[in-house]
Structure 1
Amino acid sequence: MAEEKFSIWAYSPSIPAAAIFAVLFAGTTGFHGFQAFKKRSLFFIPFIIGGIFEAVGYVGRIIAHNNQTSIGIYIMQTLLLLVAPALYAASVYMTLGRIMLHTRGEHLSPIKRTLLTKIFVIGDVFSFLVQSGGGGLMAQEKSQNLGKNIVLIGLVLQILFFGLFIVTSLLFHVRLQKNPTAQSVDAPWKKYMFSLYFASILILIRSLFRVAEFQGGHDGPLMKKEVYLYIFDSVLMLGVSVVFNVVHPGNLIGSRKVMQDSMPLA
């Protein structure tokens, strides 16, 4: 009896579904590029790169439909879709720091603004690297279990950092609301905080899904049916991107605005 070959894909990737999300992510990311350029929001560059990763990842799934034995294509689309939310998260973390700067409310945060950015972004980069390494290993049968475990470690780290970030954001929000600064009174900072919460919750749900997916392994129900990826990853990450198109932080805290507000009065 012939030995059964290791199957990279548990299903045949859908071209229409991948094409729809490739176009949607390309559109929202292109708009982010325009918004960041117009508002001089350089801190949003990681977010834009994450959106490019998402769009290219779905293009990879289109290509994979007729190339289901290609390990290179499988690794490419897996890694891009796996790590893109970590790049989204980096800009989300930096946005909170800039809200603190704009409202002059850094003293109300349980973590100093400068430390906050360093702690969360460094943790996010580490999670990014761990997930990248594990994702590449999962394409090989002999290293699939090791790759799965490494990806799980990266995802759990991302969830822990996001949990701490949400707690930090909530404490800052409550304290600033109770003890508003002069700069926060006329600034619509709450709108931007709620956009952070919305994006953070979506990324957190997506990360929990990915943990369950990789925990189940290649033969698990979540990896065997493509629809779960689109419901619990694609739609959620598209929601993150769109919410920041609608409530773009650069409208309040673009680099030019921050520089103007930071100039001491004579």
Structure 2
Amino acid sequence: MPDNSTSSLHSLTPYQPNKVLPIIFAVLIALSLSIHTFQNFRYRFWRVTFFLFNANIVFMTGWILRTIFSHEPLNLPLYIGQTILIYAGPPIFAAAEYNILGRLMQYVPMHTPVHPGRVVIVFVYLGAIVEALTGAGAGKLASSTPGTDKYINGGTLIAISIVLQGAVECAFVSMVALLHHRCAKAEMLPRNITVICITLYGTSALVLLRCVFRAVEAFTTYTHSCSGGSCGSVVRNEWYLYVFDAAPMVLYTLWLNVFHPGRFLPRNPKRYLDIDGRTERLGPGWIDERPMLLTVADPFNWQNDARGGQKYWTSPEKYAVCEDGSFALGSASNTSAAERKGYMHGAV
């Protein structure tokens, strides 16, 4: 898609928007959304992956608006709407990973450095900040003229949100790597845990790729010093958007459909893997009896042992073995058919 300095006379973008690619990406995301919805009903895993459903809706709507905008490239409301939604989708996609990590931590509590529920809350809080900054910045960018204070302010908010999201994603990958390492060291690394860890590494890499693209876009375009040359080429050439933003997010959602966590982790958060790496038991789950204000002020519970005071996994004889098989061995299932046969005792 060549650079076209005169295209701004006919479009709110520095180029004439492609009319075919937005349709392709909208269809791909809609297809992924339908598959994910089916799998969520099949495995009844909505509580863990509802962020993925929400992100698909937001991102798909953005590309639908982009499709309409490509035929009405001077329509300001369409331009603002598609800009905000395309920017807003990826941070919600990233939030889907946080819940998956939380469920993985509940599955192997003895190797979890922090309370699973608390780590999810912290990452979701940070993700909400990223989403708020992204929405505000995208709105300012789309509704202002390049070079104006409002445009630069919008670009600054976008840059801050991208850097923050990249930092959060790096912290997230570090947490996954620590859990992965501890499981491997304890020889508690069955196939289902390996698949989930590799999936989280891969989806995080796609989010980080998108962050790098948006960071380059922000720091080379939305500044006072930006002028001439290659500055702003990311904005002036549409193909960057599809290769480094749309494509990674489509691959992200397709990846989580192919390796849906509902296939590999139990729906019941109280079901955990015993230290033999094969047997699964129903424990009491993580319980934090502290006042709500204290859990917010000290989400990682630094005052006490980071993994909680109960350590129920040290007394496995107190808790029933799951008789329906084992996710670690690939013989258990979250499907309703399995439950009708008497599986998933105590599932919630």
Q: Scaled by the length of structure 2, what TM-score is found?
A: 0.69
Question: 1:263: Cα distance to partner?
Answer: 3.4
- Paired with 1:5 and 1:20, the residues of 2 have a C-alpha distance of 26
Distance 2:172 2:114 in 1: 10
Counterpart of 1:237 in structure 2 is 249
Residue 117 (structure 1) shift: 0.6
1:163 aligns with 2:170: yes
**Conservation of the 8 A alpha-carbon contact between 2:59 and 2:88:** no
Q: Which amino acid aligns with 1:56?
A: T
What corresponds to 1:206 in structure 2? 210
Alpha carbon RMSD of aligned pairs, Å?
A: 2.1
Q: What 5-or-longer segments of structure 2 have no aligned partner? A: 1-7, 223-230, 273-280, 284-318, 321-348
Deviates most, 62-71 or 193-202 = 62-71
**Which of 20, 23, 35 matches 1:19?**
23
User: Is 2:128 the counterpart of 1:125?
Assistant: yes
1: CA distance between counterparts of 2:134 and 2:128? Answer: 10
Q: Is the 8 A contact 1:109 1:168 kept in 2?
A: no
Residue 68 of structure 2 corresponds to 63
Q: Which residue of 2 aligns with 1:189?
A: 193
List gaps (5 residues or longer) in structure 1.
none
Q: Indicate if the aligned counterparts of 1:159 and 1:207 stay in contact, CA closer than 8 A.
A: yes
1:147 has 2:154 as partner: yes
Relative to its length, the structure with more helix (as a share) is: 1
Amino acid at match of 1:228: Y
Moved more, 149-158 or 40-49: 40-49
1:28-107 equivalence runs, <5 A: 28-42=32-46, 43-102=48-107, 104=108, 106-107=109-110
**Which is bigger in relative contact order (C-alpha 8 A, separation at least 6)?**
1
* Paired residue type of 1:189: I
Choose from 118, 141, 157 the match for 1:115. 118
Q: Verify: 1:173 aligned to 2:176, yes or no.
A: no
- The CA deviation at 1:30 is 1.1
Q: Distance in 2 between matches of 1:92 and 1:109?
A: 16
Residue 252 of structure 1 and its aligned partner are, at CA, apart by 2.2
1:195 and 1:243 in contact (8 A); partners too: yes
Partner of 2:140: 137
- TM-score (structure 1 length as normaliser): 0.90
Deviations for 1:132-176, whole angstroms, at most 9, x for unmatched residues? 011000121241110000011111110000011111111110111
Determine if contact 2:106/2:270 at 8 Å carries over to the other structure. no
Separation in 2 of the partners of 1:259 and 1:168? 21
Distance in 1 between residues matched to 2:269 and 2:118, nearest whole Å: 19
Query: C-alpha displacement at 1:66, in angstroms?
Result: 2.5
What amino acid is aligned across from residue 61 of structure 2 in structure 1? V
Cα distance change of structure 1 residues 207 and 26 upon mapping to structure 2, 3 Å threshold: same
* Maintained 8 Å contact 1:60/1:73: yes
Confirm or deny: 8 A CA contact 1:133 1:147 kept in the other structure: yes
Aligned-pair distance for 1:57?
A: 1.1
Judge conservation of contact 2:137–2:154 (CA < 8 Å) in 1: yes
